[in-house]
Chain A
């Protein structure tokens, strides 16, 4: 498939060739999913279990003074969707490490495709794939009684999920190319888990313990969570949206840059 794409792109202008390569890499990721559907199950199960578990266990927290909503399902569902995005993005890193161990990455790196195109293919595939667990968790939440966040709230939430998966895939790719081994998987997963959960994930920021409040205040993902959550717990507004977009852009810039640097080093 990649060879065919390479032959086709040889006669195309550079930008179209790059798009075709990204498309081929995304198609490869889609084929993995179609051919081994079971591989997607852990990525869907983990955030669903966390959503149901946290809801059953910590649901009574809404009785605390200062809690912004009476529905813990509504409060926690964007967190679980972003957690799913984190797991999916980290899995893209694990897959890249597996591809490296199998020699596939070496073949990609000797192809004429620019490094950023190879990275973009991996990252965009993770973004698209993250919509599967997010949709599943969202459906379960609706069944359990979490209110519909409105079309605008839903679009913002899913956009945050897709971008968060891209951030996680950049992080996973960076570690995969750094350690060149699937053994780095726990680092990929725990890094994303920490980034998503060291935020007002379980309770509003005013109710967090001192140290976690301080960490959450400087953690850029706090803005992402607040942006994704706004439709579920209140109304959608630009003031809660742009900090999330800015945080994601910053994270993508930093982690994408690191992944790209590691890819160039690997090629050398």
Chain B
């Protein structure tokens, strides 16, 4: 078997372990699926009248508008949960055993990220299904839905890289768990839940420059209006940037961990 095939098998095995781990632990799956679904239902029902506000973009319903926000919340928390699970592995000594195995070090991190990406894909399917069941249209059709799924999956991979870097650097599940409020702050200060033009200052200005807003708009456009090359390109560029940052930080943290033991 070639080296690439062996590495792919390692990544797939670790990715599957990561997915199983998430579905077996309520503490890990609840933030990814239960909380965003609950908030989607409550925000749609509670703030649904917002579509009548002057300046609100033309949408079929508030649920249609909110789907992208729910997916973003889910993928951000998937990245955080992936980091927590990796930190638990470090605390329990599982990662040390992997370090002594004859597998490349990057495969250990990639395996975890593959699991996070798979959870992102699951979340995108979950929320698109919820949207369709409750009457939301996907204006971009099948191609639009696939684009949204692809963007959410890759964004989960990218955000997971940041979570993995923090887990590798600190080796502490409680530190990574402590980032949970920060995830909420970043989400609220983006266009995940409301159009930027209608937000209140200073959230309005921060949301304009928050990288997450570019990803949100890239996921939202195919759902509420149809595929838009500009929004898609901005989202892809932002995801690539976050992924590169996560990769560099993870690489450094991994080297630091191997040096310090």
Contact = CB atoms under 8 A, between A and B. Distances in A.
Interface of A: 42, 45-46, 49-50, 52-61, 63-64, 72, 182-187, 189-190, 193-194, 197-198, 200-203, 207-209, 211-213, 215
B50 interface: yes
A190 B32 CA distance: 12
A208 B35 contact: no
Specify the main secondary structure of chain B where it touches its partner. helix
A194 B34 CA distance: 11
A64 B53 contact: yes
A57 B196 CA distance: 8
Contacts of B46: 197, 200-203, 208-209, 212
Interface string B43-57: 111111110111000
A201 B47 CA distance: 10
A56 B188 contact: yes
Interface in B10-58: 25-27, 30-31, 34-35, 38-39, 41-50, 52-54
B34 A212 contact: no
B203 interface: yes
B45 A193 contact: no
Interface residues of B, number: 38
B53 A186 contact: no
Given A60-B198, A63-B53, A186-B34, A53 B45 contact: no
Nearest to B35: A190
B146 to A, nearest CB: 29
A58 B34 contact: no
Given A45-B181, A190-B34, 10 more contacts: A46-B184, A49-B184, A56-B200, A56-B203, A58-B194, A63-B54, A186-B26, A197-B42, A202-B46, A207-B49
A229 B96 CA distance: 53
Contacts of B202: 56
B199 A56 contact: yes
Interface string B196-231: 001110111000000000000000000000000000
Interface string B173-209: 0000010110011011100011000111011100000
B53 A184 contact: no
Most B-side CB within 10 Å, residue of A55, A198, A209: A209
